[in-house]
Amino acid sequence: MSAWQTRFGLGFRREFTRYWSIKRQTILTPLLETYLYISVFGAALGSRVGELEGVPYITFILPGLVMMAFALNAFENNASSLFQQRFMRAIEDQLASPLHNLELLGAYTLGGFVRGAIIAGVTLFTAGFLVGLPVADPLLLLWSFASIGLFFALFGVLVGVFAEAFDNISLYRSFVLQPLIFIGGVFYSAELLPEPWQTVAHFNPVFYMINSVRHGFLGYSDVNPYLSLGVVTGGVLVLFAVVYWIFRKGYKLRF
Amino acid sequence: MDALAISGLVKQYRKGPEALKGVDLTVGKGEFFGLLGPNGAGKSTMIHCITGLAVPTAGEIKVFGKDAVKQYQQARQAVGLSPQEVMSLDWFLTVEETLDYHGGYYGMPRQRRERRIKELLKAFSLEDKRKASVRALSGGMRRRLVIARALMHKPKLLILDEPTAGVDVELRLELWHYMKRVNRAGTTILLTTHYIEEAEQLASRIALINQGQIVEQGTVRELKRKFKKKTLEDVYLSVVGREELGRNGAKAGVASKPGTAGAFK
């Protein structure tokens, strides 16, 4: 193992150890939350709704719920972890070390990404087993999940750098992310929306994320799935450039 | 080659004061160097600039010939930092993990880390706390762990930022012995402290810093001669402009007259 691999690997392991040591809060609680959404909206409400776009309602919403679990957990992990490390000044051990800015950013990003992936993966495995979720386009699906996970992990890092207090993080989650995810079409197709909301939905980046995942599973999308993938991948690149620049400058990290 | 060469170092905080105003300082290889100064003099800022925790506004810092900004990875590889604040340990980790991850950030392979952890836990009497959470440690144990962590990757330059602040006499003496041993083994040490006797006991050379500038530097004898004082404490008080608090001042009754400008300026 080369020196950079050791540095990056241990940086990631520290992050993994952190949330694994409090897994009841960081893994089990979000899993329970996702299962509650599935039971309430899928099983209870779904029996009344019947089918949407030719598939049972629960099957229609499941891709969006899995994406939501991935996104929110990747975000929340990195935002709270980085803020905590800054607040406790424990991050100074990493900042004073030879860790390259890219290795440090990569370790945090991967940490949140993996936590999101664990929760999304367990949800997908169990719900998919119970409901029987098809996979229409596996490659596009993998790319979509990877991009979405990275996007929200990086967004979490960004918020973790800027946050001045713990409630800033829950503020972002409750007032920015969750509304964007909910109106992005997790529980419905955007085609059902009246104008001008149908047009407005196209300005929400989460709309494209949900559609690329939904296309990957069901082969159905409100927009061209490759446009969705382009928007999400572009978002990741822009966000990465911004966060890396902040790490290089040391803004809010170094005095 | 010098262990540390600082020239024209300026640090201007955003929306804050100019903490360092053109500092020049050289620490020779193998030296035990003391940095003395009052609160807010710029000691910690200087350390932050050397270790990369702060971005210098101007000037140059070289650690064993490597530029601390342009060649930060090589420069930081040579430095071990024991920060002033023991609360800055990661509370989610155990004692062993704290040392292990630190070694990892410096690119140490697993087997070397394992060997080094054993050595340090023994040297700092932390063997039975190996699996204990950092949260569960007493203040003295956290202090030991912070110093052990700084030594984990066998740095060539060890920076100790007030390492004995708030520790009992027993641990202070224990740490003094350990620092001397580390220095004798060839590690250069830069020590900042508020305790005059600590600097006098340990440091071969001392720099006095006040208001972001190095006021004077030299051996204890040189400093006493230069300031025409009998003790290092009097030299220090003279530098920070509080001579009335010194033994001569107290004898003259200056410090015992509260309310006078001399006593509480």
For residues A100 and A90, what is the distance between their CA atoms, to the nearest angstrom?
A: 17
Q: CA nearest A248 in B: which residue?
A: B55
- Percent of chain B surpassing pLDDT 90: 60
Give me the residue from B81, B101, B103 closest to A96, CB to CB.
Answer: B81
Mutation target for A interface from B15, B87, B92, B98: give the one with most A CBs within 10 A.
B92
**Residue A244 has what pLDDT?**
97
User: A91 vs chain B: nearest CA distance in angstroms?
Assistant: 8
pLDDT band at B86, cuts 50/70/90?
Answer: confident
- Judged by a CB distance cut-off of 8 A, whether residue A6 touches chain B is yes
State the DSSP code for B144. Answer: H
Query: Each residue of B20-31: pLDDT tens digit?
Result: 999 999 999 999
- Strand residue runs (E) in B18-78: 18-27, 32-36, 58-63, 66-67
Phi and psi at residue B172, to the nearest 5° = -60, -45
Q: CB–CB of B55 and A21 under 8 A?
A: no
Stronger pLDDT, B27 or A48, i.e. the higher one: B27
> Residue with structure tokens 């930060």?
B72
Q: Any idea what the Cα angle at residue B81 is, between residues B214 and B119, rounded to 5°?
A: 140
For residues A20 and A13, what is the distance between their CA atoms, to the nearest angstrom?
A: 10
For residue B183, the tally of other CB atoms under 10 A from its CB is: 20
**Residue A189 has what pLDDT?**
81
**Residue A202 has what pLDDT?**
87
Query: Each residue of B7-54: pLDDT tens digit?
Result: 999 999 888 888 999 999 999 999 999 999 888 889 999 999 999 999
pLDDT band at A195, cuts 50/70/90?
Answer: confident
Report which of A56, A72, A61, A69 is spatially closest to residue A38, judged by C-alpha positions. Answer: A61
- Judged by a CB distance cut-off of 8 A, whether residue B154 touches chain A is no
pLDDT > 60? residue B265: no
Q: CA nearest B102 in A: which residue?
A: A93
Report which of A7, A127, A60 is spatially closest to residue B153, judged by C-alpha positions. Answer: A7
- Percent of chain B surpassing pLDDT 70: 92
The structure's pTM equals 0.87
- Percent of chain A surpassing pLDDT 70: 100
Mutation target for A interface from B12, B90, B111: give the one with most A CBs within 10 A.
B90
For residues B110 and B93, what is the distance between their CA atoms, to the nearest angstrom?
A: 18
pLDDT > 60? residue B261: no
Query: Each residue of B138-147: pLDDT tens digit?
Result: 988 999 999 9
Q: CB–CB of B88 and A89 under 8 A?
A: yes
Query: Each residue of B194-237: pLDDT tens digit?
Result: 888 888 889 999 999 988 999 989 998 888 888 888 888 888 88
- Judged by a CB distance cut-off of 8 A, whether residue A109 touches chain B is no
Q: CA nearest A20 in B: which residue?
A: B92
Give me the residue from B79, B83, B105 closest to A7, CB to CB.
Answer: B105
Contacts of residues A191-198 at CB distance under 8 Å and 24 or more positions apart, as own/partner, are A191/A222
ipTM for the predicted complex:
0.86
User: Judging by beta carbons within 10 Å of its beta carbon (0-12, 13-18, 19+), is residue B10 exposed, middle or buried?
Assistant: middle
